[in-house]
Amino acid sequence: REAAVLLDCDLPDEVEKMFTLAEEIKLKFYGNRIVLFAPLYLSNYCINSCVYCPYHCKNKNIARKKLT
């Protein structure tokens, strides 16, 4: 919920503060480089509803598979 409130902020000065802080945190953890993470899916059953993912639980158009 807190993230949604922060992302909905329409105060330019506060948004700039958030971006500045996010950049500081990113530089502290990763330095000046781009880091990519690849998700590892062990099945295509999911309980989440992420709109970007084809495996989301509301997608009834794919055959589900489990490792046994």
Residues 10 and 31 in one domain: yes
- Predicted pLDDT of residue 28: 95
Residues 43 and 68 in one domain: yes
Residues 24 and 46 in one domain: no
Residues 32 and 47 in one domain: no
Listing DSSP states for 25-64 in one string gives HHHHHH-SS--------S-S--S---TT-TT-TT--SS--
- Predicted pLDDT of residue 65: 86
Residues 22 and 10 in one domain: yes
Residues 66 and 52 in one domain: yes
Query: Rounded to two decimals, what is the model's pTM?
Result: 0.49
- Predicted pLDDT of residue 42: 84
- Predicted pLDDT of residue 17: 96
User: What is the extent of the structural domain holding 57?
Assistant: 38-68
Residues 11 and 23 in one domain: yes
The string of pLDDT tens digits covering residues 21-68 is: 999 999 999 899 988 888 787 888 888 998 888 889 999 999 998 877
How many domains does the chain fold into? Answer: 2
